[in-house]
Chains A and B, each alone.
Chain A
């Protein structure tokens, strides 16, 4: 596979469930990101990892827990979510975070519905 792959593409969960979103990049990039895309709102940066280290947590509630075991994989663990957390969660990667010339490559997203 090439590019950035996200699984599952669709997820429906109850407010008491625990689930995880997975992202894998095959680009040899060192930085990975989680973005949230809600209806009629701009994309919101959630987390940034650079060389497996978290460099950004954009005031995300603790019910979202990221994990980056290596530069190629990124997870978003979900627990005790609220209906307003329903959104498209996009994963992205880039070569690094230190150069303004880097371009983000996005996955197709995981569409999450919280009942």
Chain B
């Protein structure tokens, strides 16, 4: 069975600090997809990124970057120069093979960025 672990329940940083959110996953499939979603106080989950298991290249999008390492089954998310607007709950999720709708979510990490 697939599993996603976000060991950090809550993280608090001061604005402009860099912060890394950890995500470790378990799956028996060789084909799978990894996701990060952001849930601001308004409630809706906002899609941030999707990676497939065959693409281990790290990705950078503005202040956001993702480090995918199959060797350690990790898909970590780093926010550089954090801002107050980054305060939210961040979820890592996994879907296996053809069952893309069956997302297995981690419990989420609450990030608070203080001014």
Contacts and interface: CB of A to CB of B under 8 A. Distances in A.
Contacts of B42: 108
A97 B101 CA distance: 6
Interface in B29-87: 31-33, 35, 37, 42-47, 50, 52
Give chain B's interface residue range (CB within 8 Å of chain A).
20 to 34
Interface of A is mostly: loop
Contacts, number: 68
B105 A106 contact: no
A94 B50 contact: no
Contact of B100 (A4, A43, A102, A109): A102
Interface residues of A, number: 29
Given A41-B107, A43-B91, A100-B33, A90 B101 contact: no
Interface of B: 4, 31-33, 35, 37, 42-47, 50, 52, 91, 95, 97-108
